[in-house]
Amino acid sequence: MTTFADLGLPRDIVNVLRKEGITEPFPIQEAAIPDALAGRDVLGRGPTGSGKTFTFGLPMLARLAGAPSKPGHPRGLVLAPTRELAAQIRERLDAPAAALGLRVFDVVGGVNINQHIRALASPVDLLVATPGRAEDLINQKKLFFDAVEITALDEADQMADMGFLPQVRKLLDRTPKDGQRLLFSATLDGDVQKLVDRYMHDPVTHSTAPAEAAVDTMEHYRLLVGGREERGEIVLQIAAREGKTIMFMRTKHGVDRQVKKLRRAGINAQGLHGDKGQGARTRALEGFSDGSTPVLVATDIAARGIDVDDVSLVVHVDPPAEHKAYLHRAGRTARAGTSGTVVTLVMDEQRKEVDQLLRKAGVDAPAVEVEPMSPQLVTITGARVPQGSPLPPPGQPQGKGQRQPQRPNAAGGSGRGRRRPSRNRGGNRNRRSNAG
């Protein structure tokens, strides 16, 4: 069995991982960490949940150890597309960084920029940033990339999809040309290749599987629901199930409207989309992670960056616009080899569109006609009749006499793959999340 020590990581990092019950690297980690430690530029492709954060983060920390950083001049840089993903990267790397005497900090939009300015007044060794906030701080002359020795791009294909490439290029142009580059993504194609050609030097590529392979540990279904009214009733019954459920909508307005419907039915749901303030987004994810909020309703911004264990069901209330979005939404369940269920609610007029979408995604999803509380619906999703009392909007106190919201039982998820039950935070087998 290969261990993290075998890969050449410092003993202090290995000891931190061992204390968290993390001893055996995932395939992408075993393949790419030695090259990253050797200073090579690395292209890494792996399906969601394959451990990419530790794959680039641990070698970065190892190579930064033993040298000082100056305020406002980080020596390591990670660019990530969303606030949630940036925060999760920082959280995962906090403990191994501290063991080496290094400081990790994240700067993201939606947070008062003065907090970031104050934090950057002290040395930061590894900075995790969303492109927009990094650019804001540079423009205010509070952040400088002239000392960056190693840069990592996480979820580079999503940054391309979200239109961030011009900002990313401007930021990379500010880093030294001879710096090491690590680029990790679920897919390596299209505009990502332009970044590779412009910024990477003789990169070595490590790929664990194409994106389509990530669907193998999931069960997929097309639930033929008839019309909009029937779909609305079925959504309420699915949301009342036991276990953690993510429901995807195409629009921010659709998310807010759906959350109101669910809470009126006594189901403790919260929404996540780009117009939510950072405090609301953090509360929604924390509640979903600890199980106090069993249902998260989100737009595609959450299809990456949500890294929560025990999500046993993903529901496409609105079918996604394109096949890549389907795969990334679906990847919120079946994390790192565990299993899960993905259902797409298909109204009569959507059948042709969804058939084409699934063919492009390489997904075999049997079509099942369902009605409210039909045996097929209950068997596939665990649907139940909602029984709670109406709940106030998220963040408002619950009125006296209201019943507590429905919550998942402790077994909310499914199989645990290669994990040990006592494991916790880290880039692979752990209790809270293991996408890395």
Q: Which residue has the tokens 């963040």?
A: 395
Residues 71-94, mean pLDDT to the nearest whole number:
93
- In this structure, the answer to whether residues 106 and 197 fall within a common structural domain is yes
- In this structure, the answer to whether residues 142 and 31 fall within a common structural domain is yes
Q: What CATH number does residue 90 fall under?
A: 3.40.50.300
Answer yes or no: is 204 within a domain: yes
Give the pLDDT confidence score for residue 49 in this predicted structure: 61
Phi-psi region of 163 (alpha: psi -120 to 50; beta: other; left: phi over 0): left
* Dihedral sign from CA coordinates of 406, 409, 410, 415: negative
pLDDT in tens, 335-385: 555 668 999 999 999 999 999 999 988 889 999 999 999 999 999 999 999
Q: How far apart are the first and last CA of the chain?
A: 21
Q: Is 214's pLDDT higher than 80? A: no
- In this structure, the answer to whether residues 229 and 355 fall within a common structural domain is yes
- In this structure, the answer to whether residues 127 and 224 fall within a common structural domain is no
Give the pLDDT confidence score for residue 432 in this predicted structure: 36
Give the pLDDT confidence score for residue 224 in this predicted structure: 97
If pLDDT is split at 50, 70 and 90, which confidence band does 408 have? very low
Answer yes or no: is 133 within a domain: yes
* Dihedral sign from CA coordinates of 396, 402, 406, 409: positive
Q: Is 405's pLDDT higher than 90? A: no
Domain count, the chain: 2
Least confident stretch, 3-7, 26-30, 60-64:
26-30
Q: Is 65's pLDDT higher than 50? A: yes
Q: Is 240's pLDDT higher than 60? A: yes
- In this structure, the answer to whether residues 50 and 98 fall within a common structural domain is yes
Query: What is the domain range of residue 344?
Result: 214-381
Least confident stretch, 164-173, 261-270, 405-414:
405-414
Answer yes or no: is 411 within a domain: no
- In this structure, the answer to whether residues 197 and 118 fall within a common structural domain is yes
Q: Which of 209, 228, 246 is the last residue of a domain?
A: 209
3-state per-residue secondary structure call for the chain: CCCCCCCCCCHHHHHHHHHCCCCCCCHHHHHHHHHHHCCCCEEEECCCCCCHHHHHHHHHHHHHCCCCCEECECCEEEECCCHHHHHHHHHHHHHHHHHCCCCEEEECCCCCHHHHHHHCCCECCEEEECHHHHHHHHHCCCCCCCCCCEEEEECHHHHHHCCCHHHHHHHHHCCCCCCEEEEEECCCCCHHHHHHHHHCCCCEEEECCCHHHHHCCEEEEEEEEECHHHHHHHHHHHHCCCCEEEEECCCHHHHHHHHHHHHHCCCCEEEECCCCCHHHHHHHHHHHHHCCCCEEEECHHHCCCCCCCCEEEEEECCCCCCHHHHHHHHCCCCHHHCCEEEEEEEEHHHHHHHHHHHHHHCCCCCEEECCCCCHHHHHHHCCCCCCCCCCCCCCCCCCCCCCCCCCCCCCCCCCCCCCCCCCCCCCCCCCCCCCC
Phi, psi (degrees; rounded to nearest 5) at 211: -55, -35
If pLDDT is split at 50, 70 and 90, which confidence band does 50 have? low
Answer yes or no: is 413 within a domain: no
Answer yes or no: is 253 within a domain: yes
- In this structure, the answer to whether residues 321 and 238 fall within a common structural domain is yes
- In this structure, the answer to whether residues 257 and 142 fall within a common structural domain is no
- In this structure, the answer to whether residues 192 and 227 fall within a common structural domain is no
Cα 48 to Cα 428: distance, rounded to the nearest angstrom = 11
CA atoms within 13 A on the CB side of 209: 15
Q: Is the pTM of this model over 0.75?
A: no
Give the pLDDT confidence score for residue 26 in this predicted structure: 87
Q: Which of 381, 403, 430 is the last residue of a domain?
A: 381
Give the pLDDT confidence score for residue 185 in this predicted structure: 79
Cα 160 to Cα 76: distance, rounded to the nearest angstrom = 22
Answer yes or no: is 334 within a domain: yes
- In this structure, the answer to whether residues 255 and 123 fall within a common structural domain is no
What's the angle, vertex CA 64, arms to CA 62 and CA 67, rounded to 5?
125
Give the pLDDT confidence score for residue 425 in this predicted structure: 37
- In this structure, the answer to whether residues 46 and 182 fall within a common structural domain is yes
- In this structure, the answer to whether residues 129 and 267 fall within a common structural domain is no
Give the pLDDT confidence score for residue 258 in this predicted structure: 97
Q: Which of 174, 209, 244 is the last residue of a domain?
A: 209
Q: Is 252's pLDDT higher than 50? A: yes
Answer yes or no: is 131 within a domain: yes
Answer yes or no: is 402 within a domain: no
Give the pLDDT confidence score for residue 226 in this predicted structure: 95
